[in-house]
Amino acid sequence: MAQKQCMEAEKYPSKVIKFPQKGKVERCKVIAVTSGKGGVGKTNVVVNLALALIELGKRVMILDADLALANIDVLLGLVPKFNLQHVLTGQKKLSDILVEGPRGIKILPASSGIMEMAQLTESQKLILLNGLDGLEEEFDLLLIDTAAGVSSNVVYFNLAAEDILVIVSPEPTAITDAYALMKILFTRYQEKSFRLLVNSVHDSREADEVYRRLSLATERFLQISLDYLGYIPLDDNIPRAVKQQRAVVEAYPYSQASRSFFQIARSICQLPPAPFPKGNIQFMWQKWLECSQK
């Protein structure tokens, strides 16, 4: 049944497809979307994947975890009154700052230009986790849009997720930095599983070559698993949608890029759940406790 609905969504990508309930509440899957360097289109990928997942019947929340340089709200033309800074300073609860975007997407907006937010304290992590714990049952997926690079915040959010989705472009520096990010997460924190999305490529052959190079390097030198999730082609509709402060899957649902986003969203729907408790909010609690004891 789900396969039939996914096929229908491919034919009509702007149509909302609701998956049938299985009679039990499934726990919220946490996916960190990250990159070794900035400028690879990570935040744009997060927004479009989130909206595509909503079209497939999922309840999605985005956590803008680039805590000092917020971008999610800007991409969608939203002007939040409050943000995570108000939560982490004790002025508001997470539920108070939730912003609703297109198609009912929920966003936890970050602050912008506040350098103190670039590195969370242990008490701030505790506040954030406590708030997320209260929202878990309302969503099927939490997408964490991390900052680029390998800061302590980036490392923490990646380790706390069930899946780590690395965004990379064909640029040599992007490939090198993506490898460096995975190397740090593996050598220092024993993270062994990553998924890869190649962005801004001319065609599938270019994307395959990027995956091949990274996969060979990670298998040879790190002995880690790198799962290829797909690619997003270069498409003039993407910058056109950005200028409109809209997601391309909403503004141009039949574009080549939008079809790729829907294909990857369907792949995410089919990802097997990790063994409990990895990847849900309880797992994030566990990781915080482990890190605080080191």
d(CA 9, CA 109): 29
* Token couple for 155: 């490392």
Quick check: 71 and 109 in contact, CB under 8 A?
Answer: no
Over residues 196-206, the mean pLDDT reads: 98
d(CA 256, CA 237): 9
Q: Residue 9 domain-assigned?
A: no
Band of pLDDT at residue 285, cut at 50, 70 and 90: low
Which has the minimum average pLDDT: 116-120, 177-181, 237-241, 271-275? 116-120
Over residues 21-38, the mean pLDDT reads: 76
pLDDT > 90? residue 102: yes
Quick check: 180 and 52 in contact, CB under 8 A?
Answer: no
* Token couple for 231: 């690619």
Q: 114 by DSSP, 3-state: which?
A: coil
d(CA 98, CA 109): 7
Handedness of CA 257, 261, 267, 272 (dihedral sign): positive
Q: 270 by DSSP, 3-state: which?
A: coil
Quick check: 120 and 153 in contact, CB under 8 A?
Answer: yes
Q: Residue 73 domain-assigned?
A: yes
d(CA 134, CA 117): 22
pLDDT > 70? residue 294: no
Q: Residue 82 domain-assigned?
A: yes
d(CA 72, CA 69): 10
Task: Report how many domains make up the chain.
Answer: 1
Hunting for tokens 């350098």 — which residue is that?
115
Compute CA 166 distance to the chain's CA centroid, rounded to the nearest angstrom. 9
Q: Residue 60 domain-assigned?
A: yes
Within 13 A of 36's CA, how many CA atoms are on the CB side?
23
d(CA 208, CA 227): 12
Domain that holds residue 106: 27-292
Q: Residue 211 domain-assigned?
A: yes
pLDDT > 70? residue 6: no
Query: Which of 207 and 289 is assigned the larger pLDDT?
Result: 207
DSSP-derived secondary structure for 217-248:
HIIIII--EEEEEEEEE--THHHHHHHTTS-H
Handedness of CA 187, 206, 262, 101 (dihedral sign): positive
pLDDT > 80? residue 269: yes
What are the pLDDT digits (tens) for 128-176?
888 888 788 899 999 999 999 988 889 989 988 889 999 999 999 999 9
Residue 91's CATH number: 3.40.50.300
What are the pLDDT digits (tens) for 69-80?
878 999 999 999
Alpha-carbon distances of 90 from 107, 123, 126, 139, rounded to whole Å: 19, 11, 12, 24
Q: Residue 17 domain-assigned?
A: no
Which has the minimum average pLDDT: 4-18, 27-41, 159-173, 220-234? 4-18
Hunting for tokens 């406590």 — which residue is that?
130
Handedness of CA 278, 226, 143, 70 (dihedral sign): positive
